Amino acid sequence: MQVSPLAEDQVRAFLAERHAEPVEALERLGGGSWSSAWGYRVGDRQLVARFGPDVAWYEADRAAMAFAGPNLPVPTVHEIGTAPNGQAYAISERHCGRFLEDTPADLAAALAVTLTELLSALRCVPATDDRVLWHQPDAPALSWRQWLAGGLVDDPDQKVHGWNAQLAADPVLAPLAAAVSKRTGALLQACPERRDLVHGDLLHGNALVSPDAERLEAVFSWKCSVRGDFLYDAAWCSFWAPWHEGIAAVDPAARVLGASSLRADPAALIDAAVRHHCYELHIGYVHLGWNIWTGNRPDLDATAKRLSEVLERGPLPLD
């Protein structure tokens, strides 16, 4: 059920009830398709309040606090609950910086080190069990390959569904989708049943770096996170690189495969190019469905163009 977002005066009143000290410097921050965020100050503390449709999103952020480390700063979540308009909310420590994807190309040298450290830090977080959907305790048990295959299916039980019929009816997109689905399915057997920590949404305003790109400031919004193959996050950066000049200049897939920490894990390099290609195709296909569902034709056309390029190009020479 859609609810009206809280207006500024409602947010201010809501936050005033939650803090003993005055709420100051309230400002609206960028939000997602279903959410909104507000930055503010209480005393000497910088905080952010986020509002969205599902409390599980913020529970994932709170669970991800366990992963925090020097190269993986995860903001502290102080409070989760339900706002007066029925939306879920979370109050967290606010971190400042530049979005990872907004880093300019002239800072690529520094960004390369920072991004490599981030991707390596994600890969090195040990798994405590075999669950792919690690922050969803009631979710069905899936293998990594099953999770990948499920992303190619228009599942009526998912919030985003109903896109397949529109995709099949489009004379341009239908053959592209069919070709991508066929190749992805053929490559799944090369994808190992790893349980690395995958963020799954790094380049949509969910990671902050310092202005000079030499330091990672925060990684948040863990609702898309899974346990699988670390190359998925590298493929995420590679697929969307043409939209972001700094990321494109870094060559993220080659960087993560060159990380020194991989020397202790030689199995991580087996079929790396094929796996990376499979994940790029998967990401592009999933976002065809997303952009059809949201009715965003410009992004749909741009994603289709990029996906066609990746399909025709084949695996990158990573090996």
Q: Specify the number of domains making up the chain.
A: 2
**Amino acid code (one letter) for 206:** N
Q: Can you list the alpha helix ranges (DSSP code H) found in the chain?
A: 8-18, 55-64, 108-124, 144-150, 164-169, 173-187, 231-240, 245-250, 252-257, 272-294, 297-313
Domain boundary among 35, 64, 93: 93
Please report the pLDDT score of residue 1 as a whole number: 46
Q: Of 93, 113, 140, which marks where a domain is finished? A: 93
Q: Using one digit for the tens of pLDDT, what is the confidence trace for 130-153?
A: 999 999 998 889 999 999 999 999
Same domain, 77 and 114: no
82 in the same domain as 14: yes
Task: Looking at the structure, tell me whether residues 188 and 270 fall in a common domain.
Answer: yes
Domain boundary among 93, 116, 131: 93
pLDDT digits (tens, 9 = 90+) for 160-199: 888 999 999 999 999 999 999 999 999 999 999 999 999 9
Same domain, 89 and 227: no
pLDDT per residue rounded down to tens, the chain (319 residues): 456 788 999 999 999 999 999 999 999 997 666 789 999 999 999 999 999 999 999 999 999 999 999 899 999 999 999 998 899 999 999 999 999 999 999 999 999 999 999 999 999 999 999 999 999 998 889 999 999 999 999 888 778 888 999 999 999 999 999 999 999 999 999 999 999 999 999 998 999 999 999 999 999 999 999 999 999 999 999 999 999 999 999 988 888 887 777 878 888 999 999 999 999 999 999 999 999 998 999 999 999 999 999 999 999 987 5
Beta bridge partners of 207: 219
How far is 293 from 289, CA to CA, in rounded Å?
Answer: 6
Round to whole Å and give the CA distance between 201 and 159.
17
Q: Domain check: are 233 and 129 in the same one?
A: yes
Same structural domain for residues 88 and 136?
no
Q: Which CATH number fits the domain that encloses residue 177?
A: 3.90.1200.10
Residue 28: which domain range?
A: 8-93
Are 88 and 145 in a shared domain? no
pLDDT at 207: 96
CATH code, domain with 72:
3.30.200.20
Q: What's the whole-model pTM score?
A: 0.94
| Chain position carrying tokens 């997602």 | 32
Of 236, 55, 56, nearest in space to 133 by CA: 56
Surface-to-core class of residue 26, CB atoms within 10 Å of its CB (0-12 exposed, 13-18 middle, 19+ buried) = middle
Over its C-alpha atoms, the chain yields an Rg (Å, rounded) of 20
Tell whether 2 is covered by a domain: no
Domain assignment present for residue 319? The answer is: no
- Does a structural domain hold residue 195? yes
Partners of 50 in the beta sheet? Answer: 37, 90
| 174 & 202 share domain | yes
Between CA 112 and CA 116 the distance in angstroms is 6
